[in-house]
Structure 1
Amino acid sequence: MGNTGGDSLTEDINTQYNLANMVWIMTATALVWIMIPGVGLLYSGLSRKHHGLSLIWMALMAVSVVSLQWFFWGYSLAFSHEAGKFIGALDNFGMMNVLAAPSVGSTAIPDILYSFYQLVFAATTAMIMVGGAHERARLGPMMVMLFIWMTVVYCPIACWTWNPSGWLAKLGGLDFAGGGPVHMTSGAGALAYALVCGKRHDPLADDKVKTYRPHSVLSVVLGTVFLWFGWLGFNGGSSGNATIRGFYAANSTNLAAASGAMTWLMIDYFRKGRKWSVVAICTGAIAGLVGITPAAGFVPCWSAVPIGVITAAVCNFAFDLKKVLHIDDGLDVFALHGVGGLMGSILTGFFAADYIAALDGATQIPGGWLNHNYRQLGLQLAGATATLGYSFTVSTVILVALKYIPGFHLRLSVEEELLGTDVCQIGETYFQDSDEPVYTDGVSPGVMSGAQTPVPRTEKTADESV
């Protein structure tokens, strides 16, 4: 057969696969892709208007940069057939030999399809992570940082967790769709990005960590709709085939999102002025989705309700962490994804059941506490600790190193930040006026409409980084 899975000139290399499996995973891939701009719309709506377009730009940038990194060596570093315990080899460098051989993640689909499916996971993770430095990050250095971050942070953690050769997979850690590689990795990376960049500058606010009202609740809702919709493929496709297990996972995903949405709505109703907030129900749905991600293909459907409720409740109170830590994680990426992924991983250890994993006709696990396998909780905690610690530490090292390279300083100056990332870095605004004259410096008379009142020009920069 060879290392490519066969010779298409002499045989039909499709016959080794059930085409229904490939159709479902390709459909799931398309569903996950829509999550990337979904995160961008969500982040954009939550930001202030004069930074809103930059968050949508980041979504398109993330999928582009990660696609190139994945082609270059990302897929090989994560899902190489010759991987070691910690990272893959380069046998698939430049997508070399990635064709019809059964993938390491699922023998039911070929390498070429599995690589595409995992690409959209990687791009979603990248987009979540860069939200840590919103409203103050320079976009050029962000692209460089993201390529490096994917290589030395995301790919090794994905290899540990999902490659059968990875140490965490060999140990017996359970992560169905990315509680560790996607959510904890991006959450810890975003926290490091926010820490190294420093707090946003605002002459009208005090020195405490600041919160602002979303500039577009409609964008928040649209982003949430894209995410909830796409998450059905995110979790449903992680079975790696078109079996009952994947469809069961999709059902659990929807149930956890609904449970999280209602929990967050109720908590905020009593904590924040007895209003039925749209942003609250959106945030709660995402918390429930994050919590069910590592568990969906391992746990009974009924457990999606406590997973959604517990994860949403813990994440709601975790939003106060930024005030305790004095780190300006304005989009609460760590509280929602880092903490949410941690809770989902722990709850997987409680609710995992052997008969649910076996719904695909092949997977055998000892289960969690439901099967009296009490050791599983310890394995889940070990994996979560390693993932959070590695991502935060290595992300911090990358960011600090870039900060001191000439031309790669991470954040905007005070004046640029007050004008807005959209004008200073992109040269376009969220609501473009076609009749407004364009100036060569990218600044036009209306650009300050969504920004704070400018302060007199000063030599001070906004670099409050560590």
Structure 2
Amino acid sequence: MPPGITTLAADAPTLSAANTGFMLICSALVMLMTPALAFFYGGMVRVKSTLNMLMMSFISLGIVTILWVLYGFSLTFGTDAGSVIGWSQDFLGLSGIGVNELWDGTTIPVYVFAVFQLMFAVLTPALISGALADRVKFTSWALFITLWVTVVYFPVAHWVWGSGGWLAELGVIDFAGGTAVHINAGAAALGVIVVIGKRVGFKKDPMRPHSLPLVMLGAALLWFGWFGFNAGSWLGNDDGVGAVMFVNTQVATAAAMLAWLGYEKLRHGSFTTLGAASGAVAGLVAITPAGGAVSPLGAIAVGAVAGVVCAMAVGLKYKLGYDDSLDVVGVHLVGGVIGSLLVGFFATGGVQSDAKGLFYGGGLDQLGKQAVGVFAVLAYSLVVSAVLALLVDRTLGMRVDEDDEISGIDQVEHAETAYDFSGAGGGAAPRATASAPGTPAAPTNKKVDA
């Protein structure tokens, strides 16, 4: 609001039951994305690591939720301090917030905004886990999450979305998390990989997904939950922008899946289910920052570019020698960079803001802003995440022992296995034999249930 302008009581926003209900549903959809990610990642690993992969996502629901209530919301969305971090005493423990108090400039309660953003904070470190499959101690992972969201996610989210955050003030467009979520997580994954090294047998042993149906289920649930992730980020339904984002989410994801499959067919000769699932996720990632700025035709372009480039990028780990187990770098880092930068080309100036990209007469101005946001978040997350991983490695030790990794991390870390067939078909059924006429049947101990 310009200085000197007084808002009359009649003009003040009032709580909207429709927007509040919509945002609670969107929050639940985003929450679903973390277990969906667990299924997606869980199907991509070998049998001996399935439970560990599931748990690496699920534990984020516990740890980050508590940290968010204690101080995370305050650091991310509190009063700006130096354009790099927030702080508000009333947000500590969510204890100083009125039940009907509205989030600034919206018609939804602060509590609703806080829980919606909580689900973003939960998902982001879970994304990192896919790069570290098969080899990380569960206790060390839990400690790393605690440190990482505190030192990396909360500040970066403030830069991008917080009032006064320096990237927000610069004019970087990130509708729902291309920088704060996907580039942040992808760069962090690369930083941790550099510290902990490769899996035993990398580039030598087959490390194929053990359950492609589980991968497809996870991808489908991610696609479903992503509508809440993206459309909900406008925080209401009053002007149609969220509806455009909903449409663009569907369109870009479809385009990316088709583009990935097309590249895969030309490059490898087959259309694979893993390619379909990975392409869909690449499209979801790329449209996340851009969907509120581009038209549906622009969304097709964003998705198609992401599908091809991300498909090409996943093979870099074999050429460059870094072991990104489940292609977090190739999909989330690369997809986030693509989506964020393409805003500078395809922004129409007629959806979430009047900022125009190069193809709509806006010149290079917005592209330059997007590039600053991309590389600032990438560099900060990469370096700090590597330092945090090194700290954890030097204290608790980040990796399990080599013998434990070979035998299976599920048994070592969780004392369980994903699939137990010991009780299935416990022996051959007795075979009936013919008896001579008048001979009594052989006795049996088999119980006949009514």
TM-score, scaled to structure 2: 0.88
Q: Is the 8 A contact 1:311 1:343 kept in 2?
A: yes
Could you report, residue by residue, the CA deviation over 1:226-249 in whole angstroms, capped at 9, with x for unpaired residues? 100001111110111123111110
Cα distance, 1:394 vs structure 2? 0.3
Cα distance, 1:97 vs structure 2? 1.8
In structure 1, how many angstroms separate the alpha carbons of the residues matched to 2:250 and 2:225? 11
Q: 1:90 to 1:131 in 2, by over 3 A?
A: farther
Unmatched runs of 5 consecutive residues or more in structure 2: 1-11, 425-450
Whether 1:102 and 2:102 are equivalent positions in the alignment is yes
Whether 1:222 and 2:217 are equivalent positions in the alignment is yes
Alignment of 1:4-403 (within 5 A): 16-91=14-89, 92-99=91-98, 100-103=100-103, 107-202=106-201, 208=203, 212-243=207-238, 244-272=240-268, 274-357=269-352, 364-369=353-358, 370-403=360-393
One-letter amino acid of the counterpart of residue 355, structure 1: G
Cα distance, 1:164 vs structure 2? 2.1
Could you report, residue by residue, the CA deviation over 1:249-298 in whole angstroms, capped at 9, with x for unpaired residues? 011000101000001111111212x2221111111111111110001111
In structure 1, how many angstroms separate the alpha carbons of the residues matched to 2:270 and 2:286? 25
Cα distance, 1:103 vs structure 2? 2.4
58-67 or 255-264, larger mean C-alpha shift = 58-67
Q: SS of the counterpart of 2:289?
A: coil
Q: 1:108 to 1:350 in 2, by over 3 A?
A: farther
Q: Which runs of 4+ in 1 moved over 6 A?
A: none
Q: 1:209 to 1:123 in 2, by over 3 A?
A: farther
In structure 2, how many angstroms separate the alpha carbons of the residues matched to 1:145 and 1:400? 10
Unmatched runs of 5 consecutive residues or more in structure 1: 1-13, 358-363, 437-466
Q: Is the 8 A contact 1:366 1:373 kept in 2?
A: no
154-163 or 319-328, larger mean C-alpha shift = 319-328
Cα distance, 1:211 vs structure 2? 6.1
Could you report, residue by residue, the CA deviation over 1:79-106 in whole angstroms, capped at 9, with x for unpaired residues? 11344400111421222323443325x5
Aligned-residue CA RMSD in angstroms? 1.7
Q: Is the 8 A contact 2:259 2:279 kept in 1?
A: yes
One-letter amino acid of the counterpart of residue 307, structure 2: A
> Which residue matches 1:451?
none
> Which residue matches 2:437?
none
How many residue pairs end up in the alignment? Answer: 409
> Which residue matches 2:444?
none
Q: Is the 8 A contact 1:191 1:329 kept in 2?
A: yes
In structure 2, how many angstroms separate the alpha carbons of the residues matched to 1:252 and 1:229? 14
Q: SS of the counterpart of 2:290?
A: coil
Q: Is the 8 A contact 2:56 2:141 kept in 1?
A: no
Structure whose CA Rg is larger: 2
377-386 or 236-245, larger mean C-alpha shift = 236-245
In structure 1, how many angstroms separate the alpha carbons of the residues matched to 2:123 and 2:110? 20
Q: SS of the counterpart of 2:351?
A: helix
One-letter amino acid of the counterpart of residue 45, structure 2: S
Cα distance, 1:108 vs structure 2? 2.8
TM-score, scaled to structure 1: 0.85
